[in-house]
Amino acid sequence: MPFSIKVEGLEQVLSRFKTFPERIQKAVSSELKLSAERVKRLAVKDAPGDRGTLRQNITVNQSTGIAFTTVVQNRTAAYMEWGTKSKRRIPAELMAYASSFQGPGPKGGPSMQDAIQAWVKRKKIAGTYSVKTKRRTGNKATKEKQDKALAFVIARSIRKNGVNPHPFFFKNVFIVRDELIKSIENIMKGL
């Protein structure tokens, strides 16, 4: 489920906006686009990234006219943003929105344990290492068992305790929003 933001009273603002001079409309539209791109750039920079799938799924879309949206199309985005279980941390102003992401984890894709096992294998963190060569030792079957055993322990810990939050999206939305408001106020002074 993607993140999205609903703006209250947008219809009234847009109907009034159409009465402004064209130069003001272009300036505001340009500022909105720049802000959406800035949210994307900052979110990509701050997003946790093992293989980069979360980062690759942050996009900017132009909806209609001057409306631009920065979207995260990743099934784990909310869980990474706010954490899970007892480690969940949600800003007060986002509680209602975040409640739509509560419940069991996302469906589809590999199971949590399979994903963790693939991560353990990529990071080469299970098994025994040779001090001399700094490489894993043992045969392939032994390494598979070690990867699977470590993945099981990590998955069990996540199911029991949850994951720490890694805020990457909304913290940037709030920063850019405040700057956008100031920029639009300055543009409107030129009326």
What is the rounded average pLDDT of the residues 135-155?
Answer: 81
Q: Would you put residue 114 in left (φ > 0), alpha (ψ -120 to 50) or beta?
A: alpha
Task: Assign 135 a pLDDT band (cuts: 50, 70, 90).
Answer: low
pLDDT tens-place string over residues 49-80: 878 889 999 999 887 777 888 999 888 899 89
Which position has the higher pLDDT, 78 or 4? 78
pLDDT tens-place string over residues 149-158: 889 999 999 9
The pTM (predicted TM-score) of the whole model is 0.77
Closest CA to 68 of 22, 20, 34, 21: 34
Percent of the chain scored above 70 by pLDDT?
A: 80
Contact 44, 56 (CB under 8 A): no
Q: Where are the domains of the chain?
A: 10-83+165-189, 112-161
CA distance 52 to 5: 23
